Chains A and B, each alone.
Chain A
């Protein structure tokens, strides 16, 4: 297919990278090497009892290799089922890869998940995940304490982030009374509370209105990426968001990493000045399917 280049590193991690992993120090914020993830098929009825022991049969990631440098923002772009969420969930230690390695802040996600979580902020893109009968502040304090943040730190950190995300009123209200956009902002605050070195965001602005989304992007760019030097790997279906935030874009198709490059280089590679068109040409997806996934 013209313009389609397969990005698959067959070589393993370099020896100095392996040393870095063992010592918990690495030049990369995220290193994904030959990562594969397969899931067993879903059984129903009495066969569901065999589910935990079923052999993997459907492949979500096929030998993906990717590096994210400190302070860099990389976007994951692909249609539904391309493997974006699976990759983020492996890095968040919620899934164990079938093969290959995933390293976050120098720690192996499968072997040292606790150390990974210490350095990680994760937002799953959902407006669930809070205790409905607790207030926004009580929820944030609870999750902050589970990350061993002191009460005195939380007393200043929560209001300052809440002000930045315009959550002032929501802090004192029970979560069950908040809109889904507000809960999503609360979830983003939770991911940022402990000033993680690496931030994983799955569709971070999905439930936000246009103004809140633009404001969030500005905050992410100026405060989190540029000032704090946090590394960001995020999945998004919003192409303007990707162009605003991402230093590089990793395009996934059916579990394969098709290419990873700067938005400008992708457009140049595809011979177009639109990221949408570049995505379409590089993946072979029609413009129609692109519209469908963007909705």
Chain B
């Protein structure tokens, strides 16, 4: 276990060194986050109405509601996309095969390569919320940070399974997984990213309640905006836990099988 942790940190260090060789984008991201937060603030001011306030959880502004939804989807996107992207980069730069003849297994390579994108997303989201708090009154003080971290870890673990499925798809078929975009697209509508699920038609609400994103986002908003305790968000956490237990082991199995197949068909480094 310590060895895996050490290997994972090696990949994080590698990505940190590579990222630090590009200085400009970090500054630009900070500025972009400022404009992103400003955009949500002014959209919220523009659409504010008694009807909207009634549809949102009590005491929540639309600005805070939409900013949390946007930040959460940034994480979701990272979880679903980073494994496939790191595999694609390794293949395209020719580092995949040199990595595969080291002592480290490909699943560890993938997990290690996912740490930096998660850290980067955390930083970006932090900057978004920071700008939102300093300039536009985002209510950071009411958050239950322990619950926020627990929801975040549960979300990343559960949706990483989908990301690993996507990486397996890339290994096998040499192209991005279209189901990933379908899932993200559907979830952005029925998951409640920018508006409450309650305003959807009833049949879409059924779809929303079958989608774990809805539960994860509800839990995140409750922890961040209302300071909900872990006990208060136990139900969505259980849903995410079940989702993790189902998806993570099955995705690892499928990925191992896909890796074996590519070693049989000789297409490991094919594009």
Instruction: Note all chain B residues with C-beta closer than 8 A to A148.
Output: 103
- A130 touches B (CB below 8 Å): yes
Residues of A within 8 A of B99 (CB): 146
Query: Closest residue of chain B to A97, judged by CB?
Result: B264
Rounded to whole angstroms, the CA-CA distance of A122 and B103 in the bound complex is: 13
Is A95 interfacial (CB 8 A cutoff)? Answer: yes
Closest to A128 in B: B94
Q: Is B174 an interface residue (CB 8 A)?
A: yes
Q: Do A96 and B260 form a contact, CB below 8 Å, given A49-B173, A51-B267, A52-B265?
A: yes
Is B93 positioned at the interface, with any CB of A under 8 Å from its CB? Answer: yes
Interface bin, chain B: 20 to 34
Task: Output the nearest chain A residue to B108 by Cβ-Cβ distance.
Answer: A146
Q: Helix, strand, loop or mixed for chain B's interface?
A: helix
Contact partner of A133 (CB less than 8 A), chosen from B22, B97, B265, B266, is B22
A94 pairs with B98, CB closer than 8 A: no
Q: Is B110 an interface residue (CB 8 A)?
A: no
Chain A, range 142-191, C-beta contacts under 8 Å to B = 142-143, 145-148, 174, 187, 190
Per-position binary interface string of chain B over residues 173-184, scored 1 when its CB falls under 8 Å from any chain A CB and 0 otherwise: 110000000000
Task: State which of B17, B97, B258, B262 has its C-beta within 8 Å of the C-beta of A134.
Answer: B17
Contacts of B103 in A (CB 8 A): 114, 117-118, 146-148
> What sequence of 0s and 1s flags, for each residue 108-148 of chain A, a beta carbon within 8 Å of any chain B beta carbon?
00000010011010101010111111100010001101111
Q: Which B residues contact A (CB, under 8 angstroms)?
A: 7, 10, 13-14, 17-18, 21-22, 93-95, 97-105, 172-174, 258, 260-268
Interface residues of A (CB under 8 A from B): 37, 39-40, 48-49, 51-52, 54, 86, 89, 92-96, 98, 114, 117-118, 120, 122, 124, 126, 128-134, 138, 142-143, 145-148, 174, 187, 190
23 of the cross-chain contacts (CB-CB < 8 Å) are A37-B266, A39-B265, A52-B265, A94-B97, A94-B101, A94-B268, A95-B266, A96-B263, A117-B103, A118-B103, A124-B98, A129-B97, A130-B94, A130-B98, A131-B18, A131-B93, A142-B13, A143-B98, A145-B10, A146-B102, A146-B104, A147-B102, A147-B103
